[in-house]
């Protein structure tokens, strides 16, 4: 009986500690970026057409900064997503559709977590992932 009570007490303590831990998937009310969370990204886009690689910096904190062509729209879009840089599931079944040679690499931090995502448009899952990021990956200039 004594061991059972001790085990229950330990389990309750662990559950209490876990409940007090801040959530890491969100950034605060409405998933808006927390002023203390790092929301700094570097976006590199290769259009796959021989043009020079595009490289943008984006910071989505209380003050939106960077040289991204539509920083406000990109930040608003990303903060409205639960987990914009979630990896594709390893067991995802993707249509074999090719939508172009474009690739992108997004690095930095989002909601205090490291980001290092390679993007492409070479199958249905990858196309959906690219498209879900919306204004973060701007259309080719011109």
Structure tokens at 7: 């085990």
Matching CATH number, 31-136, of 3.40.50.720, 3.50.50.60, 3.20.20.80, 3.30.350.10:
3.30.350.10
Give the angle 119-72-79 at the CA atoms, nearest 5°: 65
Higher pLDDT, 3 or 98: 98
- pLDDT range class, residue 14, cuts 50, 70, 90: very low
- Continuous segment of H or E residues that includes residue 10: helix 2-20
As a whole number, mean pLDDT of residues 98-113 equals 96
- pLDDT score of 21: 34
Q: Is 47 left (phi over 0), alpha (psi -120 to 50) or beta?
A: alpha
Residues 13-51: b if buried by 16+ CB within 10 A, e if exposed: eeeeeeeeeeeeebbeeebbbbeebbbbbebebbbeeee
- Continuous segment of H or E residues that includes residue 124: helix 124-132
Per-chain mean pLDDT for the chain:
81
DSSP string over 103-119 = EEEEEEEETTEEEEEEE
Dist CA 115 CA 106 (whole Å): 7
List the chain domain ranges: 31-136
29-38, 57-66, 68-77: range with lowest mean pLDDT: 29-38
* Residue 120 Cα distances to 32, 47, 68, 88, 99, angstroms: 27, 10, 19, 12, 9
24-33, 47-56, 82-91, 105-114: range with lowest mean pLDDT: 24-33
Dist CA 84 CA 31 (whole Å): 11
The label of the residue with tokens 């899952």 reads: 125
Residue 32 scores a pLDDT above 70: no
- pLDDT range class, residue 37, cuts 50, 70, 90: low
- pLDDT score of 38: 86
């Amino acid at each position: 009986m004594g061991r059972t009570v001790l085990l229950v007490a330990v389990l309750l303590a662990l559950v209490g500690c876990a409940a007090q831990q801040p959530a890491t998937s969100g950034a605060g009310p409405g998933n808006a970026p927390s002023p203390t969370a790092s929301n700094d990204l570097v976006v590199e886009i290769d259009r796959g057409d021989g043009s020079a690689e595009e490289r943008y910096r984006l910071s989505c904190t209380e003050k939106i900064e960077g040289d991204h062509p539509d920083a406000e729209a990109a930040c608003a879009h990303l903060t409205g997503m639960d987990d914009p840089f979630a990896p594709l599931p390893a067991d995802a079944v993707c249509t074999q559709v090719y939508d172009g040679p474009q690739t992108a690499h997004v690095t930095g931090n989002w909601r205090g977590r490291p980001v290092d995502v390679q993007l492409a448009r070479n199958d249905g899952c990858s196309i959906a992932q690219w498209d879900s990021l919306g204004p973060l990956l701007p259309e080719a200039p011109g």
